[in-house]
Amino acid sequence: MKIHNQDIESHNAPRIAKHQRAFQYIRSEVPEVEAVIERLQQFQIAIPSWALGTGGTRFGRFSGKGEPGTLEQKIEDVGLLHALNQSSGAISLHIPWDNVDDATKVKELASSLGLSFDAVNSNTFQDQDAQELSYKFGSLHHVDPAVRKQAVQHNIDVINRGIELGSKSLTVWLADGSSFPGQLNFREAFQNTLSSLQEIYAHLPEDWKLFVEYKAFEPFFYSMTIGDWGQSLLLANKLGPKAYTLVDLGHHLPNANIEQIVSLLLMEGKLGGFHFNDSKYSDDDLTAGSIKPYQLFLIFNELIDGLDHLGWDHATGLGWMIDASHNMKDPLVDLLQSVEAIQIAYAQALLVNRSALKQAQAKNDVVGAQEILQDAFRTDVRPIVAEARLRSGAALQPVRMFNDLEIRKRLIEERGENTVATGL
C-alpha cells in the first residue's frame, strides 16, 4: 500500500486549528523555535530492517500479521513510516537476514520512497544453513584461525553488498565472549578480534566508517570480548580514523552514566553511531523514551554539546539508528513512537540555554545548572515537533493516522495472516 499526499492532507485538515493554537503559544515562549524546527526537519533516524516484524522473547514468539516477508516489503514498510513522519528516511540492513538479490532494483525501490541505506550489519552470531564452520565459540575472536577467516570474509561480503546499495558504514556487533571463568584467554581473544577487524578495515572504501558496537553481557554472561566503550574505543583507536564506537543504549551495566560515555567519546571524535531503544533491566529493546525519557534528554544534551564542540553536523555527524524489538505492539506503531520520542528529546536538548549553563557550572551553581536542564526537559515541545512534520509534508499525528487509515489491516489483506519477518 502507499500513502498519498491527499491522505496526509485529509488527516491534517481537521487537526490544523488545534495545532496552530498550541504552536502559537510555544512560539511566543521559545524565541529559537524556527532554528529548532529547521534542525528537526533535517534530522533522519534510520529504521532497522529487523524491527519490522514481531520479535520473540526467550520463551516464545507470537508472530504478527501482515509482516514483511521480503526485503522489498521491509523497504515498503519503512516507506510508510517515512510518508507518515518524514523523519525515517533511511533503513539499516542486517545480512543475511536481508537477502539482497538484485541491488539495483532494491536501491531503486528505496529511492522511489525517499529512503537511503544507513549502516549495513554483519551477522556472525548465528550459524547459517550453508555455513562450513560454527560460531558457537565466537567468530572474530575464535581460537581457530579458520573460523576467524570465515567471519572476516562474511564482513567483507557485507561491505561489498553495502557498496552496491550506497551504504557508507558497517556495524560489527559480536556475540563473542565466555560464560565461565577459564574458558578464554582474554588477551588473546582481544588480539584475535583486533587482527580480524584489521582485515575487515582494510576492505573499507575511503569514505566508509566502521562502527564497533559493544555490549556488556548476553549471549555470554561471564565476559564479552567487546564488553564496554573502553574496549570498543581501544579497538577503534588501534584500527584507525575510519573506525568509531557505536553506542547502543541497552548494552550497559545497570545505571551506567551513558551521557558521560557519549560526552567523552565525542571529545575523542570517536563516537560514530547510535542505536536508540529503552530498557529497565538489560538489552530490553523497548520503545525509545518509554522508560527513561530524562536519560534520553541528557544524552541528547551531551550529543549536541559534543557535536557543536567538534563542529560536526547534527544530522550527518553520526549514524542515527533505532535498534528495537517488539513483541507486544505493532512494530510499525512502535517505531513511529520511537522516532517521535527521539525527536522530542532532541528538541528539548536544543532548548538548553548553553551559555547560562556554562556560567552556572563556572560558579559551581549546582541548583542553577539543574534548573536550566530541567526547564528545557519540562518544556512541552510536541507542537514544535508536529510543526516540523507539517512543514515537511508529514502527518500531524502519525500514530493516529496509522490507525485511522487501517494500515495494518490493509497490509494483512495484501500479505496474509501467517507472515514471519526475518530477524531475531
For the bound state, the minimum distance from the C-beta of residue 9 to ligand PSV, rounded and expressed in Å, comes to 37
In the complex with ligand PSV, the residue whose CB is nearer, 228 or 305, is: 228
Looking at the Cβ atoms of 275 and 314, the one nearer to Mn ion is 275
Give the contacts of 179 (CB within 8 A, at least 6 positions apart): 220, 221, 222
Q: Return the residues of window 231-250 that contact ligand PSV according to CB under 6 A.
A: 248
Cβ closest to Mn ion, residue 282 vs residue 353: 282
**Residue 214 in contact with ligand PSV, rule: CB under 6 A:** no
Minimum gap (Å) between residue 173 Cβ and ligand PSV: 4
Spatial distance between the Cα atoms of 243 and 233, rounded to a whole number of angstroms: 9
Q: Can you count the helices (H) and strands (E) in the chain?
A: 17, 10
Distance of closest approach, residue 272 Cβ to ligand PSV, in angstroms: 13
Inter-CA distances, 176 with 97, 141, 246, 249, 390, Å: 19, 7, 17, 19, 45
**Going along 22-123, which residue ranges are E strands?**
47-48, 90-95, 116-122
Which residues of the shown chain bind Mn ion in the complex (CB under 5 A)? 248, 275, 283, 323
Which one, 118 or 387, has the nearer CB to ligand PSV? 118
Contact 398, 50 (CB under 8 A): no
Which residue, 177, 173, 174, is CA-closest to 185? 177
By CB under 6 A, what part of segment 118-147 binds ligand PSV?
121
Q: Is 326 in the site for ligand PSV (CB under 6 A)?
A: no
Fill in the DSSP letter of residue 336: H
| Binding residue count for ligand PSV, defined by CB under 6 A | 10
Question: Strands 177-178, 223-224: parallel, antiparallel or unpaired by DSSP?
Answer: antiparallel
399 binds, among ligand PSV, Mn ion, none (CB under 5 to 8 A by kind): none
Q: Does residue 74 bind ligand PSV (CB under 6 A)?
A: no
Nearest to 123 by CA among 64, 76, 176, 78: 176
Pairwise CA distance, residues 340 & 347, whole Å: 10
Instruction: Decide: is 213 part of the binding site for ligand PSV (CB under 6 A).
Output: yes
User: Closest approach of Cβ 110 to Mn ion, in Å?
Assistant: 22
Residue placing its CB nearer to ligand PSV in the complex, 173 or 377: 173
3-class SS of residue 339: helix
CA separation for the pair 335, 343 (Å, rounded):
12
Question: Among residues 384 and 421, whose Cβ is nearest to ligand PSV?
Answer: 421
Between residues 270 and 275, which has the closer beta carbon with respect to ligand PSV?
275
- CA 95/CA 296 separation, integer angstroms: 29
Least distance to Mn ion, CB of residue 145, Å: 27
Q: Indicate the residue among 168 and 215 with the shorter CB distance to ligand PSV.
A: 215
How big is the CA angle at 186 (ends 184 and 192), to the nearest 5 degrees? 95
Task: Provide the 10 A C-beta neighbour count for residue 207.
Answer: 8
Residue placing its CB nearer to Mn ion in the complex, 270 or 275: 275
| Interface pattern 168-187 for ligand PSV (x via CB under 6 A) | -----x--------------
Residue 215 touches ligand PSV, criterion: CB under 6 A: yes
50 lines the binding site for ligand PSV (CB under 6 A): yes
- From the list 283, 302, 305, 330, which residue makes contact with ligand PSV (rule: CB under 6 A)? 283
In 33-89, the DSSP E strands lie at 47-48
Q: Is 208 among the residues that bind ligand PSV (CB under 6 A)?
A: no
Please, what is the minimum distance in Å from the beta carbon of residue 115 to ligand PSV? 20
Give the residues lining the site for ligand PSV (CB under 6 A). Answer: 50, 121, 173, 213, 215, 248, 275, 283, 323, 424
